[in-house]
Amino acid sequence: MAYSQTIPQTVAVAPGVTLLMLPEPRFKRARVSMLADLPLDEGRAARSLLLDVLEQGSARHPGRVALAQAEQAAYGARVMMGRGSAMERHRTRLGIEVVGQRFLPEGEVVLPPALALAGSLWQEPWRGDQGELFRAEIVDRERELLLQRIRERIDHRSEWAEERFLQHLCPDEPLGLLSWGSEEDVLAVTMDDMERERLRLLNEAEVLVLAIGPLQADDLLPWLREMFPGDRKPWQPPAQELREAGELRMVREELDLDQAQFHMGFRLPPPPDPQQRAALQVANVIFGGGVTGRLFRVVREERSLAYGIGSMLRPRKGLMTVAAGIDANAADEVQDAVLEQWQDLVQQGPTPEEMSTAMVAILDRLAAVADDAGSLGAFHQREFHRGTHLTPAAWAEHLQAVTPEQVAQAASLWKADLRYLLAPESKA
Amino acid sequence: MKILQTLQHPLAGETVVLAESAHGVRLALCPTPGFSAASAHFGLRFGSADTRFRMPDGRQVEVPDGSAHYLEHKLFEGREEKVFDRFGRLGASFNGGTGFHATTYHFESSGHFEPCLEVLTDFVQHPLITQERVDKERGIIEQEVRMYDDHPAYRGIFLLHQALYHNLPIQVSPGGRVADVHVITAADLQSCFDGFYRPQDMCLSLAGDFDPEQVLHFVDQHLDLPPREVAERTPLSEPGKPQHAWLEESFPVSRPQVYIGFREPAGVGLGAPRMERRILSSLILDLIFDRSSEIHEQLYRDGIVDDSLSCYWTDDASWGHVVIQAVHDEPKVFVDAIQQALTRFAADGPSREDAERLRRAAYGASVSSLQTPSALASSLLRGMMDDDQPFATLDFLAQMDFEQLSARAREMFGEERRAVAILQPGERSE
């Protein structure tokens, strides 16, 4: 198998703003993703409401209709904004996608108008008629809609269970916070707060721009330099706060639902180097990564207790989590299976077949990373934020060097911290 | 193996080889030089709606709802070894899916394309279905069904299907109900397989950096299921208008969820008529409900719709309907306002300028979606199963006629073909 050896072109656009360029003429669509990070534990409610308000129009495109029509006229260009948490950071996204030039009729261009549209959203807000920072009727309406979305989270049972699980797992850590902010936070946001956060996105956020597909750095640099001033003072993310697990905690909550949602959280020390990170990834795949993992094999295939079960790593945060939809009565049996498989992995290590199956699965997906702009972007984004800047080919070498002993060692560092169960309401 | 056609498609920027195996399986291959992964998608027109049929030997069969989906699960068990393990050793990503009228299986692999292709062609042709194996899977499928049962949107859509249709089996989700899962037997699944998994009804699409002739030769050696007569579906009569104009159910949601459907009196079969109707219907919904529409903007400003609104067209050969869904505190107010907007739109008709802008956007989105080998193979499979030419959507969008769009706009939203389903906040209905 061949792995991408392409090193992204890195351009320092302004202090705290980096462009990673991966020109790729094979792709039919050009994709630009801007990730702007600020602290998760302050300002997130104002930024959440700000994004909803900015999506309603800019000075250049006043109104949703004008914005959407401009996208459509550019052959379905897409300009997307979003927010969420990434470890202990609050991440605001601005994404642009346009169809490649070779698929357009002669004389048509779509990237410049799409960039102008996206830039106007952050740089040129649609101000009020009397000079207000934003249009009051829009702020009121979007605030109410955001509050409704916050209140309706509970209707989506599996997402609700995951949110509650993280709140219990990380009760006094930023990761346990809702990335939208609470109802109280959103109600308290003022227009001044929103304008302050807009300026922070432009002047203080740590910004990574990933550009992949049929486009070149020169297509983007003038636009980026106009957006981000050369004298900006970027936020310095604090060192990651880590916790250790004590005794295994048990939390059970009830709701009107049909299927119980089972979660377990393990704490672990973040791997200090790529080789230990590779061992941790292999350990996770063997334990609960997909249909070849132990959890799927034992809990689903052998005991028929779940349709899906799997584990997920947040290595920089020092977390490994397990999730499954089950019958509530089977929660103890599933927990026992999870703990047994983990202990067996630590004590006996992986079998040769498990090592080979995990390795071939990881390497197969790694080879395919180069086929898709989304996967390629996600790979290089993670490498950038870790500060390791590996290519897929270099990462493959670390993976291929992992031994069974390293896998067992990686699993031995996990500490079970919490079992959370969202169960159907008990009948009186 | 017969190569039927080699097609250069400039709009998609792809070349497609169409072929047919010695036993009648239809194939489409798309070489993608420079891509690492290769993908194969296999499918046949047999789905959850096919519950009553006459076997080639004359036997009349009725199987429980959910049988096609259960069979898909059992095929993954393999004959001698689980497909999970076989694909797992090869590092492939794979999955299957059961819809109302089709079942599909696919994989993607970077390093072991031909061995994976061997696994795929083997397990879809040579299952071993025993009662013990069927019983073993019951708990897993029950959990899958229960997982969907907790999704309000899933429940709402099937309540809408119950309102829209009298007899069509699409009123039940492809997985069936938990009670159905409890009674499905090995004999049911064997009848489904024997009746419908026949080469002349099968399609296989492949995309990747390969030599098409070499792959065709390989495939021909592995597609060995002999051609036999396919079971005959028992026809269902379906009146042309909805069964219920308004249907409500309680469900644990914070606010009422509203689902409006407008159904067609009948289907238009497969092929170009269906593809054209699908594209035209989707464009009309965008003309009304996309953020670029003044109608949508007015509804948004009036507080009738918010970002919970979504709408789409869905169909098959024998049915088709629009779905408009949203969360709203006063369902009656919402439904009346939507109906007024639709009536006004149908009377005024679309504007040429708006239609042209949306046509461009749809074209750009369609081209962009044909990116990875897996996306290409998926598109080619859908085309074969729907009796469309490869990438027919792009061809139609490139030459779409505004008058067709106007005519479709006038016929879509008759109030007599409307049904409404509501999930009201409350305890789950039994």
Q: Is the domain defined by B2-233 classed in CATH 3.30.830.10?
A: yes
A98/B364 touch (CB, cutoff 8 Å), yes or no = yes
Judged by phi (left if over 0) then psi (alpha if -120 to 50, else beta), residue B57 lies in alpha
| Among A29, A152, A292, beta carbon nearest to B84 | A292
Q: Is the pLDDT of residue A176 over 90?
A: no
A98–B contact, CB cutoff 8 A: yes
Best of B308, B371, B427 to disrupt the A interface by mutation (most A CBs within 10 Å)? Answer: B371
Nearest to A361 among B37, B91, B147 (CB): B91
Q: Report the residue of chain A nearest B430, measured CA to CA.
A: A258
Contacts of A150 in chain B (CB under 8 A): none
pLDDT at A178: 83
Helices (H), B197-249: 212-222
What pLDDT does A88 receive?
A: 82
Position A86 pLDDT exceeds 90: no
| A110 interface with B at CB cutoff 8 Å | yes
Q: What local confidence, expressed as pLDDT, does residue A298 receive?
A: 96
pLDDT average, residue stretch A323-338: 96
pLDDT tens per residue across span B228-269: 899 999 988 999 999 999 999 999 999 999 999 999 999 999
Residue B231, min C-alpha distance to chain A (Å) = 31
User: Which residue in the set B37, B89, B151 is minimally distant from A368, CB to CB?
Assistant: B37
Give the residue on B whose Cα is nearest the Cα of A326.
B143
Residue A329 has pLDDT above 90, yes or no: yes
User: Which domains, ranges and CATH numbers included, belong to chain A?
Assistant: 9-227 (3.30.830.10), 249-424 (3.30.830.10)
Cβ distance A69 to B357 less than 8 Å, yes or no, reads: yes
Cβ-count burial A137-174 (b if 16+ within 10 Å, e if not): ebbebbbebbebbbebeebbbbebbbbbbbbbbbeebb
Residue A179, pLDDT score: 84
Cβ distance of B146 and A291 shorter than 8 Å? no
For the cut 80, the answer to whether the pLDDT of residue A427 exceeds it is no
With 70 as the cut, is the pLDDT of residue B430 above it? no
Chain A contact set for B359 (CB, 8 A)? none
- Average pLDDT score over residue span A19-36: 96
Where in the sequence of chain B do the CATH 3.30.830.10 domains occur? 2-233, 246-425
The helix or strand, by DSSP H or E, that contains position A51, with its residue range, turns out to be: helix A44-54
pLDDT band at A49 (very low <50, low <70, confident <90, very high): very high
Question: How close B71 gets to chain A, by Cα (Å)?
Answer: 16
Instruction: Search chain B and give the residue with CA nearest A3.
Output: B36
**A48 near A146, Cβ under 8 Å?**
yes
Please check whether residue A80 touches B, CB under 8 A. Answer: no
DSSP summary character for residue B17: E
For A269, which DSSP code? Answer: P
Contacts of B362 in chain A (CB under 8 A): 76
CB of A106 within 8 Å of a chain B CB? The answer is: no
Cα of B364 to nearest chain A Cα, Å: 5
Give the span between the Cα atoms of A291 and A308, in whole angstroms.
9
Amino acid at A313: L
* pLDDT tens-digit map of B361-406: 999 999 999 999 999 999 999 999 999 999 999 999 999 999 999 9
Q: What is the pLDDT of residue A241?
A: 76
Distance (Å) from the alpha carbon of A294 to chain B's nearest alpha carbon: 12
Strand A319-326's sheet: what is its strand order?
A249-255, A415-424, A260-267, A319-326, A306-314
Average pLDDT over residues A266-279: 96
- Which pLDDT belongs to residue A87? 80
Mutate to test the interface with A, among B290, B329, B360 (most CBs of A within 10 A): B360
pLDDT (tens digit per residue) in B320-373: 999 999 999 999 999 999 999 999 999 899 999 999 999 999 999 999 999 999
CB of A368 within 8 Å of any CB in chain B? yes
Instruction: Tell which of B140, B253, B379, B393 to mutate to test the A interface (max A CBs under 10 Å).
Output: B140
- Report the C-alpha gap between A427 and B14 in whole angstroms: 59
Mean pLDDT over A281-310 rounds to 94
Percent of chain B residues past pLDDT 90, beyond the cut: 97
pLDDT at A428: 58
The encoded tokens of residue A314 equal 């947040």
For A206-232, what is the mean pLDDT?
A: 96
**Residue spans of beta strands (DSSP E) within B99-162:** 103-109
Nearest by Cα to B204 from B44, B89, B10, B410: B44
How does the average pLDDT of chain B come out, rounded? 95
Using a CB-CB cut-off of 8 Å, the residues of chain A touching B89 are 356-357, 360
- Assess if CATH 3.40.640.10 describes domain B246-425: no
Is A238 a residue whose pLDDT tops 90?
no
Residue A139's pLDDT is what?
98
**Mean pLDDT along residues A237-263:** 91
**What is the average pLDDT score of chain A?**
95
User: With pLDDT > 90 as the criterion, what percentage of chain A qualifies?
Assistant: 89
Rounded to a whole number of angstroms, the distance from the CA of B116 to the nearest CA of chain A is 12
Contact: B367, A292; criterion CB under 8 Å? no
Query: Is A151 in the B-facing interface, judged by CB distances under 8 Å?
Result: yes
Q: Which among A325, A303, A321, A305 has a CA at the least distance from the CA of A313?
A: A321
Amino acid identity of residue B191, one-letter, is S
E-only strand ranges, B11-133: 14-20, 26-31, 38-44, 52-54, 60-62, 93-98, 103-109
Count CB pairs under 8 A between chains A and B: 175
Q: What is the ipTM of this complex?
A: 0.91
Q: What's the rounded mean pLDDT across residues A347-376? A: 95
Contact B110 A365 (CB under 8 A): yes
Find the mean pLDDT for residues A400-411: 98
- Interface check A257 vs B, CB under 8 A: yes
pLDDT at A240 over 90: no
Q: Is the CB of residue A258 less than 8 Å away from at least one CB of chain B?
A: yes
Quote the DSSP letter at residue B305.
-
CA distance B225 to chain A (A): 28
A114 pLDDT tier (thresholds 50, 70, 90): very high
Cβ-defined contact of B141 to A307 (cutoff 8 Å): yes
At B42-94, the pLDDT tens digits run: 999 999 999 999 999 999 999 999 999 999 999 999 999 999 999 999 999 99
| B316: β partners | B319
> Are the beta carbons of A371 and B13 separated by less than 8 Å?
no
Q: So what's the pLDDT on residue A244?
A: 87
A301 touches chain B (CB under 8 A): yes
CB contact under 8 A, A75 and B89: no
The predicted-structure confidence for A148-171, as pLDDT tens digits, reads as follows 999 999 999 999 999 999 999 999
Mean pLDDT of B276-286: 97
Supply B157's token pair.
């859509």
Average pLDDT over residues A214-239: 94
A 169-198 → B contacts, CB under 8 A? none
The answer to whether A158 faces chain B, any CB pair under 8 Å, is yes
Q: Which of A166-170, A174-178, B211-215 has the lowest mean pLDDT?
A: A174-178
* pLDDT band for position A426 (cuts 50, 70, 90): confident
Q: What is the DSSP letter of B416?
A: G
Closest residue by Cα to residue B420 from B304, B350, B330, B355? B330
Do residues B72 and B129 touch, judged by C-beta distance below 8 A? no
Residue in chain B closest to A71 (alpha carbons) equals B361
Interchain CB contact of A256 with B (< 8 Å)? yes
Q: Which of A26, A63, A69 sits opposite B34 (nearest CB)?
A: A26
- A307 vs B144, B303, B307: nearest CB: B144
